[in-house]
């Protein structure tokens, strides 16, 4: 009987250690992704300055919607498109709202892209607000240890 209790205790400890390890790697990967966001932003700024004569004068960052709705599936294969969509909102002055109400499934790669965006917005002293936080998204954030870092509201609370 003591052996069973010891096995359960060891398993719980191993599980907690694994979750902590995943969270540490995810945050480290997000820091790298954040550096990529910054580099891409610098390149975009240079390119937009060089091409300003060719750009449409009525098209501006101010006309871009600050609400982004994530699809039901947000997976590794979607990470590049997700990053591109987020990059267009990186410099938006008002809070960027990310609506996750339709989300049914999200993987670690997509969570890392979202984390990098949230961290970059934070460094720029700009906010991200979460709308429609559902159990699927909340559970994915908890499993990766990112709930606090993403600044998620409690389930049922508005952002």
pLDDT surpasses 50 at 60: no
In a domain, 38, yes or no: yes
Counting the structural domains of the chain, the total is 1
In a domain, 47, yes or no: yes
Most confident of 61-70, 95-104, 147-156: 95-104
In a domain, 33, yes or no: yes
In a domain, 58, yes or no: no
Q: Are 150 and 115 in contact (CB under 8 A)?
A: yes
What is the pLDDT confidence band of residue 149, given thresholds at 50, 70 and 90? very high
pLDDT surpasses 70 at 19: no
- What's the CATH number where 118 sits? 3.30.750.24
In a domain, 25, yes or no: yes
DSSP per-residue letters across 13-56: HHHHHHHHHHHHHHHHHHHHHHHHHHHHHHHHHHHHHHTTTTS-
Q: Are 70 and 141 in contact (CB under 8 A)?
A: no
What is the pLDDT confidence band of residue 70, given thresholds at 50, 70 and 90? very high
Domain that holds residue 90: 2-52+65-143
Give the residue carrying structure tokens 């952002």. Answer: 159
- Each residue of 98-148: pLDDT tens digit? 999 999 999 999 999 999 999 999 999 999 999 999 999 999 999 999 999
In a domain, 150, yes or no: no
In a domain, 111, yes or no: yes
What per-residue string of b and e applies to 71-103 under the rule 16 or more CB within 10 Å gives b?
A: eeebeeebbeebbeebeebbebeeebbbbbeeb
Instruction: Read off the pTM.
Output: 0.63
What is the pLDDT confidence band of residue 66, given thresholds at 50, 70 and 90? confident
Question: Mean pLDDT, to the nearest integer, of 37-46?
Answer: 51
In a domain, 159, yes or no: no
């Amino acid at each position: 009987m003591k052996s069973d209790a010891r096995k359960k205790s060891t398993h719980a400890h191993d599980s907690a250690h694994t979750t902590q390890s995943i969270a540490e790697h995810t945050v480290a990967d997000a820091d790298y992704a954040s550096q990529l966001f910054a580099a891409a932003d610098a390149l975009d700024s240079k390119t937009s300055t060089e091409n300003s004569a060719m750009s449409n004068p009525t098209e501006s960052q101010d006309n871009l919607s600050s609400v982004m709705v994530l699809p039901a599936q947000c997976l590794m294969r979607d990470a590049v498109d997700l990053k591109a969509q987020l990059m267009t909102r990186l410099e938006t002055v008002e809070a960027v709202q990310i609506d996750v109400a339709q989300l049914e499934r999200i993987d670690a790669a997509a969570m890392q892209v979202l984390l990098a965006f949230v961290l970059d917005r934070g460094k720029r002293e700009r906010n991200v607000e979460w709308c429609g936080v559902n159990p699927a998204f909340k559970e994915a954030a908890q499993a990766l240890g990112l709930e606090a870092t993403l600044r998620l509201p409690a389930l049922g609370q508005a952002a």
